[in-house]
């Protein structure tokens, strides 16, 4: 599923070359993440094969692969590197068809890469009867991408995809993670969802490249990037407190504070077009906002009270920017249907399992 985070963003943790550096940076910032999962999903459909091969088809990337020996294949250099890395990490001898599809395009800052990895792990470990806890699912997905593929990713999107819901996540220097579900008053939760708007800037990007650049700026212990990240972390804590107290207006202003601080981490987090869109939204009543993900493009998240939203919407439309409606998701990665009858696969469940998607909008 897709995710929206405010920080001090654990993207910082993804910008390290080894575990010692990861500990050093976490020691400096001790990052926290305020994050919510939304109802834009990534789907995996698994079907049985009997010829000893694994086939992966990605509808979003318009790619497919068909392999008989995964161990000899490099995961790098392929548009299907995440599925390949997951399959190689599991190391299981099985044959299957995997069809992959997403409701949002890749590279839009909504955690799509993490959702792919978490989703595939969830499906395959259920199929192989090797179930993982939500913590195990998030950590393993992170390790596959960070260590297996060597990509500059953080942990926040993996945890959001695995857990779902509205969470405040703390990452500790010893490698442990604490996920705190925020139990908001139902009226506050409804207002939060109603006051958030998402607009696609039309500028998809590859966050791994942006995160690699942000690595250098966050390595200086006394540098401006670390100081900015401390500011964002403090804003995230105050956002949490504002929501628990029901102070929605303060939350909106804090979102602006965090965005202004985040832009100081790297010059590529924003650009003149994003700045123009953001200022237009603010001039029409939005209290705060941010670009989702690593920055540089993707979705612009805005906080605007209902009385201002039409003006904001009109301003964005005049700039050629389209709004995407969404709702919060509470469930995290799920096996929706496990059907043992369609292809007579002995690896499938012995009975139907069904999780109603209608529950996903209720936290």
Distance of CA 97 to the CA centre of its chain: 25
157 labelled catalytic: yes
Runs of H (alpha helix) within the chain: 11-14, 19-29, 81-90, 112-127, 134-143, 156-163, 186-195, 207-217, 224-245, 248-262, 272-283, 306-318
**Pair 195, 305: CB distance under 8 Å:** yes
DSSP class per residue in 102-150: ESS-TTSSSSHHHHHHHHHHHHHHHHTT----HHHHHHHHHHIIIIIS-
DSSP secondary structure letters along 77-89: TSTTHHHHHHHHH
Dihedral angle of Cα 113, 43, 161, 117, to the nearest 10 degrees: -40
How far apart (Å, rounded) are the C-alpha atoms in residues 212 and 292?
17
Active-site option among 6, 9, 89, 157: 157
Which active-site residues does the annotation give? 157
């Amino acid at each position: 599923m897709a995710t929206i985070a405010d920080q001090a963003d654990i993207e910082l943790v993804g910008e390290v070359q080894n575990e010692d550096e990861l500990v050093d940076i976490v020691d400096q910032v001790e990052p926290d993440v305020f994050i919510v999962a939304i109802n834009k999903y990534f789907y995996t459909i698994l079907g049985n094969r009997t010829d000893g091969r694994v086939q992966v088809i990605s509808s979003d990337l318009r790619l497919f692969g068909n392999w008989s020996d995964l161990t000899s294949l490099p995961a790098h250099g392929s548009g299907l590197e995440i599925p390949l890395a997951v399959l190689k990490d599991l190391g299981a001898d099985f044959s299957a068809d995997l069809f992959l599809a997403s409701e949002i395009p890749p590279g839009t800052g909504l955690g799509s890469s993490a959702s792919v990895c978490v989703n595939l792990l969830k499906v395959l470990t259920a199929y192989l009867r090797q179930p993982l806890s939500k913590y195990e699912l998030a950590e393993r997905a992170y390790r596959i991408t960070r260590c297996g593929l060597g990509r500059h990713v953080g942990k926040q999107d993996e945890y959001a995809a695995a857990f779902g819901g509205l969470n405040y996540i703390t990452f500790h220097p010893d490698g442990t993670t604490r996920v705190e579900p925020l139990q908001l008053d139902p009226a506050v939760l409804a207002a939060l969802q109603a006051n958030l708007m998402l607009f696609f800037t039309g500028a998809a990007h590859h966050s791994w490249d942006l995160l690699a650049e942000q690595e250098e700026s966050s390595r200086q212990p006394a540098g401006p990037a670390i100081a900015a990240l401390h500011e964002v972390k403090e804003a995230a804590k105050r956002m949490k407190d504002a929501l628990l107290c029901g102070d929605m207006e303060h939350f909106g202003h804090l979102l602006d504070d965090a965005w202004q601080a985040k832009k100081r981490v790297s010059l590529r987090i924003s650009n003149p077009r994003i700045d123009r869109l953001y200022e237009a939204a603010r001039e029409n009543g939005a209290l705060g906002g941010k670009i989702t993900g690593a920055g540089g493009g993707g979705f612009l998240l805005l906080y605007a009270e209902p009385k201002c939203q039409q003006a904001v919407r009109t301003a964005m439309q005049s700039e050629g920017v389209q709004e995407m409606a969404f709702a919060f998701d509470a469930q995290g990665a799920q096996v929706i249907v496990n059907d043992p009858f369609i292809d007579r696969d002995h690896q499938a469940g012995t009975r139907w399992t069904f999780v109603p998607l209608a529950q996903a909008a209720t936290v």
